[in-house]
Amino acid sequence: MAELTINQLIKMIIGIFVVVVVVLGLYLFFRNYLFDFFKNIFGGSKTEIILSLIK
């Protein structure tokens, strides 16, 4: 079994930190756009959805 050296542990910690920061940054940047998109995805009412599917 391979032993983890201090150098490898530091690289792993930095890598995990970078991934967390990137994901958090993307979430904060697109937060308002994604919530508005999914809120308005179905339009105003259910009858509009049904009529758009029939067309």
Is residue 54 within 8 Å of residue 46, measured between CB atoms?
no
Q: Is the pLDDT of residue 40 over 90?
A: no
Q: Is the pLDDT of residue 24 over 60?
A: yes
Is residue 49 within 8 Å of residue 43, measured between CB atoms?
yes
pTM, two decimals, is 0.56
Q: Distance from CA of residue 42 to its chain's centroid? A: 21
> What's the one-letter identity of residue 7?
N
What is the band of 33 on the pLDDT scale with cuts at 50, 70, 90?
confident
